Amino acid sequence: MNTHNRKVHCRGLDFQVAHWGEDAPPRLVLLHGWGDCGATFAPLCAHWARRAPVAAPDMRGFGQSAHAGPHYWFADYLADLDAILDALSPTQPLALIGHSMGAQIASLYAGIRPERIAQLVILDGLFLPDTPSDQAPKRYRGWLHQLQEPPQTRVYPDFHSLATRIQKQHPRLSAERALDVAQAWAREVDGGVQLRMDPRHRMRGPLLFRAAESKAVWQQITAPTLFLDGAQSAFAQAIDACERDDRRACFRHRDEKVLEEAGHMLHFDAPEQTAACIDGWLVAQGWPGGDIQDATTRPNEPA
């Protein structure tokens, strides 16, 4: 499988973008979760790239993309994605897949720029609890305290030591795959290896999550959407079933599937099953063989 990395310079930063398949504008873009990077989705992306080009960018401050501190604001991820897609595929609507944090980014972008997204896949995401307004004073005080003592990144003796730690956290990973993840997440420094992620991502920002705002954006989405959840994920417990259903009701054209053998990190726990499940759904929606120029036209619906 033809794979390569490229740098995309936009909004004053260099973004690393992993690319699978032929050298052409991607028909599918995948967004990673917090602490992760695009390269760890290689088993899934290589599967899809047999039929169409696939890309997975590292978001700002993650993987091999540039750090952008001292602060990270969520809205910047949306602006970054908009600029990255303009660079990668400026005219053609595409399929967008997001995991966890990447799912929140992807879902909001699909509502803000509905004409750009032909299909949307949410991997174990949109479970962030709504934050009551009375939490604001505490959050702002905590944020100011963190600014005085910013977090630091631990140095591990070598990649194998980091891989061992990763495998303990994600026991379904083989030793070989855990080492691949370690090498994607970290870089060599004096005295060992260090995570590439900007440690300032560990700071809890002062802004509260308002579910009502996200719901208003989700209601603007025109793309068919697949929710693919891990049955063993603890993240789904962050909100109750009624709130989950209320959020998903915002998506006009949606399907829901669950992988029983997977937890939150579906691409770690069950990569083959995850890829196959998404691939079957995408094909049913017309990807990549169908005409996706009009992202508002759905299969079995009149134009």
Q: pLDDT tens-digit profile of 47-104?
A: 899 889 999 999 999 999 999 978 899 999 999 999 999 999 998 999 999 999 999 9
pLDDT of residue 233: 96
List pLDDT tens digits, range 211-220.
999 999 999 9
Enumerate residues 6+ apart whose C-beta is below 8 A from 25.
Answer: 53, 88, 89, 90, 92
What confidence category does residue 295 fall into, taking pLDDT thresholds of 50, 70 and 90?
Answer: very low
Q: What is the mean pLDDT of residues 3-7?
A: 88
Q: What is the pTM of this model?
A: 0.92
Share of the chain above pLDDT 90, in %: 89
- Reduced to 3 states, what is the DSSP secondary structure of residue 45? helix
List pLDDT tens digits, range 171-211.
999 999 999 999 999 999 999 999 999 999 999 999 999 99
DSSP state for residue 193 in the 8-state scheme = E
pLDDT of residue 302: 32
List pLDDT tens digits, range 111-129.
999 999 999 999 999 999 9
Q: Which domains does the chain have, with CATH numbers?
A: 3-130+209-284 (3.40.50.1820)
Interatomic CA distance for residues 111 and 129, integer angstroms: 20
What confidence category does residue 300 fall into, taking pLDDT thresholds of 50, 70 and 90?
Answer: very low
Question: Burial of 66 by CB count in 10 Å (0-12 exposed, 13-18 middle, 19+ buried)?
Answer: middle
Question: Burial of 178 by CB count in 10 Å (0-12 exposed, 13-18 middle, 19+ buried)?
Answer: buried
